[in-house]
Amino acid sequence: MPEDSINHIDFDELNKKATSLPIVTHLYTADPSAHVFENKIYIYPSHDIDAGEAFDDLGSHFAMEDYHVFSMDHIEGDVKDHGIALHVNDVKWAEKQMWAPDANEKDGKYYLFFPAKDYDGIFRIGVAISDLPYGPFTPQPDAIKGSFSIDPAVFKDDDGSYYMYFGGIWGGQLQRWRNGVFNASHPDSPTAFLPKDNEPALLPFIAKMTDDLLQFDESPKEVEIVDENGNLLLSGDNNRRFFEAAWLHKYKGKYYFSYSTGDTHFICYAIGNNPYGPFTYSGRILNPVVGWTSHHSICEFKGKWYLFYHDSSLSKGVTHLRSVKIAEIKYNEDGTIQTLDPYL
C-alpha cells in the first residue's frame, strides 16, 4: 500500500475489514517463519523496535537486535511468547540488524538461521542451536562460510536433505555481490549495481546444507524464476521479479518457491519440479498490506495450509513496527493458489 496513502487510513475501519488481526500485540513482530514441531506451531519472527534510526531505503530503521519465539497449540488458540531466544550481544561476529530468521529441526536439535551485519557492515548468515524449539539458542562463533545477504529459509525435503534459500536486494545487499565479492562503493545507494530494466532480474540463491546444518555443502547457486515461456524475469518487471523473502514449500509433489516483490508489495510464487528449480512464475499469494514490506512463510497444520505474514496496522502505519498475522490459503484443482486480499 503506497506510503502517501497511510495518513488517510481509518485504522479502526481497516481492522474491521481485515482478513485477520495481529496474533501478537504486546510487542511488534515481523517476517514470520512458521514450522510445526512437536505437534505445535512455532513462529520465528524478527522483533521490531523503534531504535530512532532515520528512515531510508537501506533499511537502517529496521534495527532489530533480538529474536523471540512464539508457539500455538491451535491455529486460533492463544499465542505463547517464550521470551528472548537469541540477542545480538551473544553473537560474536554480529554487530547489528538481526533481520528475518528461520528455523528447522534435525535429530532432536533445533537450528535458528539468522542474518546480521558484521563489524564491516556486511550481511552474513549465522546458525544457533538449541535442544528446545523455543531456545534459548547458542550461536556458532562464526557466520556460515561463504554466506551473504539476508532472509535465510531452510527447507527439509522428503529425502532428509536440507537446503537454504537466501537473498534480498537494496538494503539486503544482494546486488553488491554480482561479481562474487562485496562491492562497498556507493554505500548510501540501495539501487547501485542493480541490472537495467531490460536485463534479467537478480536471483535468490540456494545451497544444500552439510549434515550438521552448520555450513553450506556446496557453492551457492542462483534460483531461476522464469515466465511461461521459460525466460528469466526481467529487472524492470517489478510486479513479478524477486526482491526478498524466499520461502519453499512442497504441495502434491511440486515445489513452490514464494517471495516478496519488495517495492511493489506482492507475495508471489513460482512452481518447479525440484528444489533447485527453475521455477515458473504462477501468480500472487497476497496483495499489498499496510506498510512498506511484505514477508511471509507457508505452513501446513492439521490438513490445512496457512500463510503467515505481517502488516503495520497495529502501529497505525509505522513502517518498521509490524505485526504478524495468519490466513488460510487454498489451492485450485490445477495446483495454483488463490490470491488473498488482506482487507476485504
Single-letter residue type at 28: Y
d(CA 247, CA 223): 12
Single-letter residue type at 54: A
Q: How does DSSP assign 45-105, residue by residue?
A: EEEE----PPP-TT-TT----EEEEEEESSTTS--EEEEEEEEGGG-TTEEE-----EEEE
Q: Provide φ and ψ at 301, rounded to 5°.
A: -145, 120
Specify whether the CB–CB gap between 255 and 165 falls below 8 A.
no
Q: Grid coordinates in use for 22?
A: 495481529
Q: Single out the catalytic residue among 3, 31, 188, 211.
A: 31
Single-letter residue type at 269: Y
Instruction: Name the residue among 43, 235, 257, 260 with its Cα closest to residue 172.
Output: 260
d(CA 316, CA 290): 9
d(CA 98, CA 227): 33
Q: Single out the catalytic residue among 48, 151, 224, 244.
A: 244
Annotated catalytic residue 244: yes
Specify whether the CB–CB gap between 259 and 268 falls below 8 A.
yes
Q: Nearest 5°: CA angle at 143, between 140 and 148?
A: 155
Place of cell 532432536: 108
Annotated catalytic residue 31: yes
Which residues form the catalytic set? 31, 244
